[in-house]
Amino acid sequence: MKKLFNLLTLSLLLVACQEDGVTVQSNDSQASKGFDQSFIKKIEVNFDAGIQAKRGGKSNNDPVLDFMIQINAALVGQGIKLEKVEILGVDEAGRTVFFDDKGSKQIDFDWVPNDPRNNGFGAAVPYWIDNTQLGTSSGMSEQATFDAMVNSMNNWDAVACSGGLDIPFLFSSDFDIGLVQFFTGFGGSGLVITGAIAHAGILPAAFFETALGPGAGTGTLGVTFTFSYGTDIDGNGKGDTALSEIYINDGFNWQDAPNDVLFDVDNAIDFETVVLHEVGHGLSQDHFGTAFRDGGSGALHFSPAALMNAAYSVGRRDISGTDEAGYCSNWGVWPNN
């Protein structure tokens, strides 16, 4: 049933592509069988330039920013740029890092409807899933983690205000995807789909430590990397998102535990809640809420408590309140924004 749905979705998108005259930029012989590969583009990563940026560049005393400088040096000439890293922490370590940090005048990023660079996806923001890095060391099956990713996309898609947005499933990839992952030497590849959200894998803690710096392997639950085209073709004051990649840290006790408060008891974390949070970033939602510690217990709280808080506190699969308001302020008018 899953495959049938993939093919149906894909053929619909293919029709859209042909109408828009999208050209195939690059294919790769190792790409998955059974579906069209014309959405896939190959990014040439210049590792030497990245290394030079690391050696020659000044440290910003922020390993995430240093990493972004490296990866962007390696992507020069490829038409995309890593702009934003959103880190979901187990505590106050959760945060957002912008490549071009302008302080309070921060420029944010959003998808452009009918962006000609986005494979003819029109008013849709589709997604694909890395089929090679599913399942968790804590015992969740590949199918359970796959289902949580699909559920998360459908959950955001079902919010009533966003009738103009479609979030279709492209396919699950039988080759290892992930541009950031590729850059860090943890697998992945230079194969991307612009205009789409990539569930790029459940990766070992060492990947997070490498990409995000000391302590990130134990402090980061998940991360979303947002790449832009470096333009604002729709003149909305936001940079144009090219693609986003979501990674989940395998180094935690992931469980299928909706609305669970077990985190304080056995450190169990609801996998789908974290994926839902990361997809929120994929759909241009920023972190929200102020962190504070309970004076008595020392427990971490947020005001207001929301799915899009920068740290995990409880299983939360419903999109309501400030999460819904933030989402609807952006997607309620789509594709007319």
The residue ranges that bind Zn ion (CB under 5 A) are 86, 88
The string over 222-237, giving b where at least 16 C-beta atoms fall within 10 Å of a residue's C-beta and e elsewhere, is: bbbbbbbbeebebeee
Residue number with CB closer to Zn ion (88 or 125):
88
CA distance linking residue 330 with residue 59, whole number of Å: 35
Rounded to a whole number of angstroms, the minimum distance from the CB of residue 119 to Zn ion is 26
Contact 130, 177 (CB under 8 A): yes
Closest residue to Zn ion: CB criterion: 88
Residue 219 identity: G
Rounded to a whole number of angstroms, the minimum distance from the CB of residue 79 to Zn ion is 26
CA distance linking residue 52 with residue 177, whole number of Å: 25
Contact 57, 66 (CB under 8 A): yes
Rounded to a whole number of angstroms, the minimum distance from the CB of residue 67 to Zn ion is 17
Rounded to a whole number of angstroms, the minimum distance from the CB of residue 277 to Zn ion is 5
CA distance linking residue 221 with residue 248, whole number of Å: 6
Residue number with CB closer to Zn ion (117 or 301):
301
Distance of CA 175 to the CA centre of its chain: 18
Contact 196, 179 (CB under 8 A): no
DSSP structural state of residue 313: -
Rounded to a whole number of angstroms, the minimum distance from the CB of residue 72 to Zn ion is 21
Rounded to a whole number of angstroms, the minimum distance from the CB of residue 187 to Zn ion is 23
Residue number with CB closer to Zn ion (88 or 268):
88
Contact 306, 289 (CB under 8 A): yes
Residue number with CB closer to Zn ion (68 or 88):
88
Residue number with CB closer to Zn ion (86 or 240):
86
Residue 261 identity: V
Distance of CA 7 to the CA centre of its chain: 24
Residue number with CB closer to Zn ion (88 or 97):
88
CA distance linking residue 189 with residue 194, whole number of Å: 14
CA distance linking residue 278 with residue 290, whole number of Å: 18
Cis peptide before 113 (omega within 30 of 0): no
Rounded to a whole number of angstroms, the minimum distance from the CB of residue 274 to Zn ion is 9
Residue number with CB closer to Zn ion (39 or 247):
247
